[in-house]
Amino acid sequence: MTDLEVLAAQFWEWRAAQQPRSRDDIPRIDRPAGWLPDFSAAAVARYRRERDAFADRLARIDPGADRAAAVDARLLRSALARVRWELDVLRSWQRDPGFYVDQTLGCVFDLLTPLEVDAARLADVRRVLAATPALLDVGRENLAGEAVREFAGLAVTALASVEDDVAATVAALTSLHPVGWGAADDRALAAAGGEAGRALAAFRDSTAQQLPGMASAEPVGPEDFGWFLREVAVLPYSPQELLDTGRREADRAAVLELLERHRNGSAPGARPAPRFTTGAEQAAAEADAELAVRTFYEDRGLLTQPDTLRHYRTSPMPAYLAPIAWCGVADDLTGPDRLDQDGSAFFPPPGPDLPYFYAANAADPRAGIIHEGAHYQQLALSWRHPRAVRRHYYDSTANEGIAFYNEELVLASGLFDDAPATREIVCNFMRLRALRVVVDVQLALGELDIPAAAALLETAVPMDRQTALEEAAFFAATPGQAMTYQVGKTQVLALLADASRTDGFSLRAFHDRLWREGNVPLSLQRWELLDDRGDLDRIEQLARVRA
């Protein structure tokens, strides 16, 4: 192994233990055996020292004239910048009570997202529940005098019925009886669940009592946000350029949806109607649809579907996950050590009052397959990458950009020629994701607050109020994530347009490479594929302007 490969392997081993749990499913990773999050003051100080030591080692490595090695080195620089972003800029561990909900009940949620819950997984659930009171005590120490009112209010709301939620989850888990799990284990799980539920409720109540004295949220600001764009996301745009892109694309999407509704004679704002009466019926239809989408890729010469690539499946939400489904995205995109397993997702029962994305999937399961299913395929292919450093998550722009691009790719290629209502849904997805750029950037710059951002999403997409509030709150806590769909798609389109003008261009080969390199920021993909440093030169220019 080269010095760079050794450094990358050691960094990612460290990151698996250091990285905080988040509600985003793309950066979800496999953890070391017995792992628990640690954000005590001593741990944070140690993380900073270790991060700086990795950065010093990286600075001493010269990749030379090998462009692929230079891309790998820039990837590690991005990963190290993200650690700084988390620890020193966002400081969620110090400012957001919801961070500690994620590090406790959120970790339980992640353990329960795979389809199979065996005795070992139940033992991990019990271990996290048992550790929850101590983890929340660390949170109280870190948050004292630093917690932000808006984030704290969101945590209080989320935890409104947490004792009942945890109790319902534990009760459902004790009915599973996997091999190797006995009555004594059930009692220990129930005891740990009871203690965790009480601790989370006490955390909620003490946070609520302190709300009036907390400071209001402050935006991350143009300087730090610009640094994030350049160093973490490797994006060649200023915040204003991103806003311009979001607004133009929102207008374009609104017109496409208008034209589609006019073509179909649909009423403005009509919600998709569920096609299914039972979850089993929806799951069966999704399995058939996933096969049809894969056949479509091959028949149209769009994207190779290797025999070794497993499938993306959906199932009704199990009773043990439903009470805490608010903790994250209820899917399992597998991982580098589980490439022989299907990707999967859970969904609530079909009905008339489903949230935005679940309603779309209940009307046509392909609406989810072309995005979340694309995530599964991209990650499963990237996890096989011959260059190990490219098997990891760096920033959502490439991952989300590819999945969002895939939606328009299959729409334009005719997948939904038989489904007028789904064409409308896909156009509405476009409008939402373009508006996310505007919301994300304006929240980061302080031009919108969370209620105003939620109102914009609710009225302009439109979408249900609860989903709009959840999206706005998540965007405020994770600046730079919501914009990734549209910004990444814009970069993919530009890369495709330029690549299509090269000799020997093949659309299938382009897509096969794009999916395989799907963890690599698109500015770096452009440099490696086309020997075009234009994006990287622009990033350096923006950095000089800020300096």
How do residues 331-362 score in pLDDT, each as one tens digit?
A: 999 999 999 999 999 999 999 889 889 999 99
Centre a 10 Å sphere on the Cβ of residue 538 and count the other Cβ atoms it contains.
17
pLDDT tens sequence across 259-301: 999 999 998 777 778 899 999 999 999 999 999 999 999 999 9
Residue finishing a domain among 222, 251, 285? 222
Specify if 254 maps to a domain.
Answer: yes
Q: Is 38 helix (H, G, I), strand (E, B) or coil?
A: coil
pLDDT of residue 470: 79
Residues 496 and 529 in one domain: yes
The length of the chain, given as a count of residues: 547
Residue 545 covered by a domain: no
CA torsion sign for 8, 9, 11, 17 is positive
The rounded percent of the chain whose pLDDT value lies above 90 is 91
Same structural domain, 294 and 150:
no
- 283 and 182 in a common domain: no
Would the pLDDT of 38 be above 70?
A: yes
Q: Which residue has the tokens 């505007």?
A: 438
The answer to whether the CB of 240 falls within 8 A of the CB of 438 is no
Q: In this predicted structure, what is the pLDDT of residue 468?
A: 85
Is the domain of 277 the same as that of 214? no
Residue 543 included in any domain:
no
Instruction: Tell me the C-alpha distance between 348 and 243, whole Å.
Output: 35
DSSP class of residue 325?
G
The pLDDT of residue 527 is above 80: yes
Residue at which a domain ends, from 222, 247, 268: 222
Question: What is the rounded CA–CA span in Å between residue 304 and residue 306?
Answer: 6
Residue 497: count of CB within 10 angstroms of its CB = 9
Same domain, 12 and 45: yes
Q: Is residue 217 part of a domain?
A: yes
- For 143-199, the pLDDT digits (tens) are 999 999 989 999 999 999 999 999 999 999 999 999 999 999 999 999 999 999 999
Domain shared by 209 and 345, yes or no: no
Q: Is 497 a domain residue?
A: yes
Torsion on CA atoms 454, 460, 465, 467, rounded to nearest 10: -80
The reply to whether 49 and 176 lie within a common domain is: yes
pLDDT at 308: 95
pLDDT of residue 319 exceeding 80, the answer is yes
Check whether residue 348 and residue 207 sit in a common domain: no
Residues 58, 183, single domain; the answer is yes
Q: 3-state DSSP: the chain helix, strand, coil percent, rounded to 5? A: 65, 5, 30
Task: Quote the pLDDT of residue 31.
Answer: 96
Cβ contacts of 370 within 8 Å, gap of 6 or more: 293, 403, 406, 407, 410, 415, 426
Q: Which stretches does DSSP call E strand in 216-330? A: 312-316
| Cα separation, 416 vs 406, whole angstroms | 13
> Does residue 407 fall inside a structural domain?
yes
Let me know how many helices (H) and strands (E) the chain has, helices first.
Answer: 24, 3
Q: What is the pLDDT of residues 230-241, one digit of tens each?
A: 999 999 999 999
Q: Looking at the structure, do residues 141 and 14 belong to the same domain, yes or no?
A: yes
Asked if residue 547 has pLDDT above 70, the reply is: no
- Asked whether residue 505 is assigned to any structural domain, the reply reads yes
- When pLDDT is averaged across residues 38-54 and rounded to a whole number, the result is 98
Sorting pLDDT into bands at 50, 70 and 90, what band is 220? Answer: very high
Which two structure tokens, joined as six digits, stand for 53?
């030591």
Residues 256, 142 share a domain: no
pLDDT of residue 530: 98
Across the beta sheet with 331-332, the strand order is 312-316, 343-347, 331-332
Q: What angle do CA 392, 396, 397 make, to 5 degrees?
A: 120
pTM of the model: 0.96
Element (DSSP H or E) covering residue 343: strand 343-347
Q: Which residues pair with 530 in a beta bridge?
A: none
CA gap 4, 10 in Å, rounded: 10
Gap between the Cα atoms of 490 and 522, Å rounded: 10
Question: Using one digit for the tens of pLDDT, what is the confidence trace for 111-151?
Answer: 999 999 999 999 999 999 999 999 999 999 999 999 999 89
Residue type at 363 in one-letter notation: A
What's the chain's average pLDDT? 96
Q: Is residue 289 part of a domain?
A: yes
Instruction: Tell me: pLDDT of 535 over 70.
Output: yes
- 158 with 269, same domain: the answer is no
Find out whether 390 and 382 touch, Cβ atoms under 8 Å.
yes
pLDDT at residue 92, as a whole number: 97
Q: What is the 3-state secondary structure (H, E, C) of 382-427?
A: HCCCCCHHHHCCCCHHHHHHHHHHHHHHHHHHCCCCCCHHHHHHHH
Residue where one domain finishes, among candidates 177, 194, 222: 222
Give the helix ranges, DSSP H, for 114-221. Answer: 119-143, 149-158, 162-173, 183-210
Number of domains observed in the structure of the chain: 2
User: What are the Cα distances from residue 524, in Å, to 71, 259, 384, 519?
Assistant: 6, 36, 19, 10
Range of the domain at 127: 3-222
